[in-house]
């Protein structure tokens, strides 16, 4: 019982700490959304792979940023492969989804 009461007290105390939250959310624009996506993709897929997917595109739909890389055109032949994608909460910066197409 004592352990549970202590856990509740700790959670209650953490809510009283000062916190600044911008009116536009923690991810207010395309530049911030892309920076977060690249920071998440790089350790997962590798720096070389992610850099080859430039330019990155971010689109805000509702309160979610949809960020993706760009599939490069080959000099000859058909495009193959996919790009990294991420969905990021504009409000609090949570990563909602990460994947890479094939």
pLDDT tens-place string over residues 48-80: 999 999 999 999 999 999 999 999 877 566 667
Nearest of 89, 78, 102 to residue 40 by alpha carbon: 89
Chain centroid to CA 49:
17
Does the pTM exceed 0.75?
Answer: yes
**What pLDDT score does 15 carry?**
76
Give 12's pLDDT tier (boundaries 50, 70, 90).
low
Residues 69, 53: Cα–Cα separation, whole Å: 5
Longest dimension (CA), the chain: 69
Q: Is 46 left (phi over 0), alpha (psi -120 to 50) or beta?
A: left
4 pLDDT more than 90:
no
């Amino acid at each position: 019982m004592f352990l549970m009461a202590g856990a509740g007290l700790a959670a209650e105390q953490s809510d009283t700490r000062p916190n600044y939250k911008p009116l536009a959310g923690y991810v207010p624009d395309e530049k911030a959304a892309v920076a977060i996506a690249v920071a998440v993709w790089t350790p997962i897929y590798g720096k070389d792979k992610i850099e080859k997917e430039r330019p990155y595109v971010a689109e805000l739909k509702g309160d979610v940023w949809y960020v993706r890389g760009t599939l490069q055109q080959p000099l000859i032949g058909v495009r193959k492969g996919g790009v990294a994608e991420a969905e990021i909460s504009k409000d609090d910066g949570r990563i909602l989804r990460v994947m890479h197409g094939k």
